[in-house]
Amino acid sequence: MIPEFDLDGNLPQGIHTGTESDFFDRFTASSARRRWLADRVREILALAKATGKLERVFVWGSFVTSKESPNDIDLLLLMGADFEVEKAPRRCRHVFEHASARMAFQADVFWAKSSIGEEALRLWLETYQQARDFQRRGIIEVLLA
């Protein structure tokens, strides 16, 4: 379940889960900018899923706050241990090239293979819970359908 925002408009610190439907219902309806960014998230997820290797998705940053006009999208795609960008369908590859994804989706797309292990993933997610102002805020794990 996705919790309510705190007084600063952030999610409480921690990793919170929500289905794709919950995620889009919660974070996309309040402004035109959010709807536009949500369409970019849908594109990214569709392309990552088309590889057949997407296992988990985490979203953080201004998109998962109460901010009416988020700057961009920040997400981590956790791919199967045997994922290889070179073997992904050509139309999907730009999602896994940081600069290309930034231009195409106005998103900072990070990715890793599940073989990084739970400890490395935990440390990575701990880092992403720290905002620029050093305040800690929550992350959403989007549960894939």
DSSP string, 53-78: -EEEEEEEGGGGSS-SS---EEEEEE
Range of the domain at 32: 15-143
pLDDT band for position 134 (cuts 50, 70, 90): confident
Q: Does 84 reside within a domain?
A: yes
Q: Cβ neighbours of residue 85 under 8 Å, at least 6 residues apart?
A: 93, 96, 97
For the chain, the domain total comes to 1
Is 88 within the bounds of a domain? yes
Any domain includes 111: yes
- Full-model pTM: 0.96
Instruction: Classify residue 6: in a domain, yes or no.
Output: no
Q: Domain for residue 126, yes or no?
A: yes
Mean pLDDT of the chain: 95
Count other C-beta atoms under 10 Å from residue 121's C-beta: 17
How many Cα atoms sit within 13 Å of 142 on the Cβ side?
26
Q: Tell me whether residue 5 is in a domain.
A: no
Q: Which residues of 41-59 are buried (b: 16+ CB within 10 A; e: fewer)?
A: beebbebbeebebbeebbb
In a domain, 38, yes or no: yes
Instruction: For residue 30, name the pLDDT band (cuts at 50, 70, 90).
Output: confident
Mind listing the pLDDT tens digit for each residue in 110-124?
999 999 999 999 999
Query: Cα(22)–Cα(1) distance, rounded to whole angstroms?
Result: 8
Domain of residue 99, CATH code = 3.30.460
